[in-house]
Amino acid sequence: MTRTPDAIIIGTGVIGAAIAFELAKAGFRTLSLDRNAQAGHGSTAGSCAIIRMHYSTFDGTAFAWEGYHYWRDWAEYLALGKDQPLAQFRETGCMVMKSPANDHLSRHMKYSADLDCPFEDLSPDEVRRKMPIYTLDSFAPPKRADDPDFGQSNGRTLSGAVYWPNGGYVTDPALSAQNLMAAAAMHGAEVRHRAEVADILVSNGRVAGVKLAGGEEIHAPVVINVAGPGSNQINTLAGVTGDMTIATRPLRQEVTHVPSPAGFDFENDGMIVSDSDVAVYVRPEHGNHILIGSEDPECDPHDWAQSDTDYNRDFTDQWTTQAMRYAQRVPSLGIPSKMRGVVDLYDASTDWIPIYDKSSLPGYYMACGTSGNQFKNAPIAGKMMAALVAYCEAGNDHDTAPLSFTLPYIQRDIDVGFYSRKREINAESSFSVLG
């Protein structure tokens, strides 16, 4: 690198890469740093990469509906040229089962209607037509597989579901981050991998750059923490946690990988399904397989990791519990004896809503608490963070006069203060991976 960067971005996951792309397009000289060997090789690589529109808050719904359009127009958004291999978005649709736990999706439908986001209110028969392998018996409240009442219906049936036709998933989440970094490089962005940040430099009351583990100092007037599960450690180094009402920390998660039931092509005829009655979400996977994740019910203990690098990477009985929960909905599901899937970390915030904000240290910004439900929002999060940096560096006080940001596709203004590090815990949150 021959010039001092205008901004250092810590992390080249999908959100860090999107921020680099948007800042570079805006004329910033950016340097992205990551301790991994390649972009997207942290928690982004372990993401289920689901693109959905339903959220329990209006702001979350608006952000996600805006975010969908970038994945739909991925090649146009990046403008990398025809020879570049691109991550693919499969628009399978997303069905969410109605239950008392989600208030039968009344808020979700209202927010989608307010935003002109398409959805269909499905009867039980319409659910069965879409997913003929499903039974609509209710098993709530969710239980673990070793509970003596596990698998026993409560005598009720589900009242239906809501279907968002534009939902889907990205087939290669790591490649999506690499696409973004390649697009950023076309605008002058630089990147260094295998570069671990050991300290945040401060001079005259504002951020001055970073020190790497090998002792090298890199100076810059702006530093943005997008370190995923390592974000709290970086914030601690920067000394900015004192005024934060929302904390982040690494949460260990397991995703179960099982074959589709015999006679059903889940890869091509399945879809994203969120089912709070049995507390799992699923998506198709190549090879006619199904990925099954937990929706974090009370019976599933949170496995908070003490370290974002040293944690248990082996499967546990949580793998079996998730498979068995989904088998309640799909009685023909086969559960293999060999455990396959993903063990990784989320960067989870107190209320599972991310922090996109400045900090108490001038020039130091954060995009934290994003894991589990923000992959879909990476492109628009990049745009919003670039606007926030420009707003604050121009002398505006985002804490007292929060930035109002226009979502370009849907032309809605949002208050970026919704994502403040100093906000009150949002009671409308699901307090789970659903955000």
Among 365, 354, 320, 285, residue whose Cα is nearest residue 11: 365
Digit-coded pLDDT (tens) for 409-434 = 999 999 999 999 999 998 888 777 87
> Is the CB of residue 333 less than 8 Å from the CB of residue 261?
yes
pLDDT of residue 410: 98
Give the Å distances, CA to CA, from 23 to 72, 85, 146, 394, 399. 22, 23, 50, 15, 21
SS3 86: coil
Q: What's the rounded Cα separation, in Å, for the pair 385 and 397? A: 15
**pLDDT band at 8; cut points 50, 70, 90:** very high
Q: What is the mean pLDDT of residues 398-408?
A: 98
**pLDDT band at 58; cut points 50, 70, 90:** very high
Fold annotation for 91-167+249-348: D-Amino Acid Oxidase; Chain A, domain 2 (3.30.9)
pLDDT of residue 63: 96
Q: What is the mean pLDDT of residues 392-412?
A: 98
CATH superfamily ID and name for 7-84+172-247+351-419:
FAD/NAD(P)-binding domain (3.50.50.60)
48 Cβ neighbours under 8 A, 6+ residues apart? 169, 255, 281, 283, 291, 293, 375
Q: What is the mean pLDDT of residues 125-154?
A: 97
pLDDT of residue 402: 98
**pLDDT band at 82; cut points 50, 70, 90:** confident
What stretches of 110-242 adopt beta strand conformation (E)? 120-122, 161-164, 168-170, 190-193, 197-203, 206-212, 217-219, 223-225
Q: Which residue has the tokens 């910033």?
A: 28
pLDDT over 80 at 435, yes or no = no
Domain ranges for the chain: 7-84+172-247+351-419, 91-167+249-348
Task: Tell if the pTM clears 0.75, that is, is over it.
Answer: yes
pLDDT over 90 at 105, yes or no = yes
